[in-house]
Copies of this chain bind each other. A is one copy, B any other.
Amino acid sequence: MISKILNKVDAPFDENVIDIEKEKLIIAGPCAIESYDQLLETARFIKSKGVKILRGGAYKPRTSPFAFQGMRKEGLEILKAVKKEVGIMAVTEAIDEKSLSEVYEVSDMIQIGSRNMQNFSLLVEAGKQDKPILLKRGMSATIKEWIHAAEYIAKQGNTKIIMCERGIRTFNDYTRNTMDIAAIPIIKQETGLKVIADPSHGTGKRNLILPMSLASLAAGADGLIIEVHPQPEDALSDGDQSLNFEEFSNLISVIKG
């Protein structure tokens, strides 16, 4: 094992909440929280499909400072209201120490995004929390670097870490990223952590989400995180890689076989 401290880890959730040993962890929702109605509609729909965790970004790390940066604090308020209204858990991204404490108040799981995988100060703060951390792989992170990032969190005492393979950056320009499916069994062999896959960011293409979801699960993934939007064509970000409700329904049927 590469990691000496990650072979004995806490289950990310109490087994009464989600028994990740027995059922796959499906997380779904829009890339960004855009309005109360958008999130509510999505949350209700995915819950009806058996999904227990809603995703939705309030703080969005965007390449350009002139792009939509997320609804930020207002987005978290919406998330809080929708969670209560629908009765569903949530995960959303923290991008710095301040947003981390805000996210902690609202969210059941805290996401550290790809661009922050080596933001070591943020990892240390995440390690001080008592909620599960969803640690996305950096765009050009080696397996070792990703595991070491998880160790930054674990070293502070929080070993409720879920790793998320979301594709790496390669010369291949057909897909947004190249999903490194082999990373899924590797992380499981080298640590005791759970691993999920993000075929939405991993491919950037709606019609590849289903086959890559199936591939990830076949390779041993403990779950999936999928972008779903009521009207992907109107999404403020990542519409091309979001499923509409019908497509998501179909994905769930196929997965549950």
Contact = CB atoms under 8 A, between A and B. Distances in A.
B220 A211 contact: yes
Nearest to A2: B174
Contacts of A120: 61-62, 65, 95, 115
B121 A142 contact: no
Contacts of A151: 64-66
What number of copies of this chain does the assembly contain? Answer: 4
Contacts of A121: 95-96, 98-99
Contacts of A122: 96
B178 A170 contact: yes
A148 interface: yes
B189 A178 contact: no
A183 B174 CA distance: 9
A96 B175 CA distance: 33
B208 A214 contact: no
B175 A182 contact: yes
6 contacts: A65-B120, A66-B155, A174-B186, A179-B180, A181-B215, A189-B207
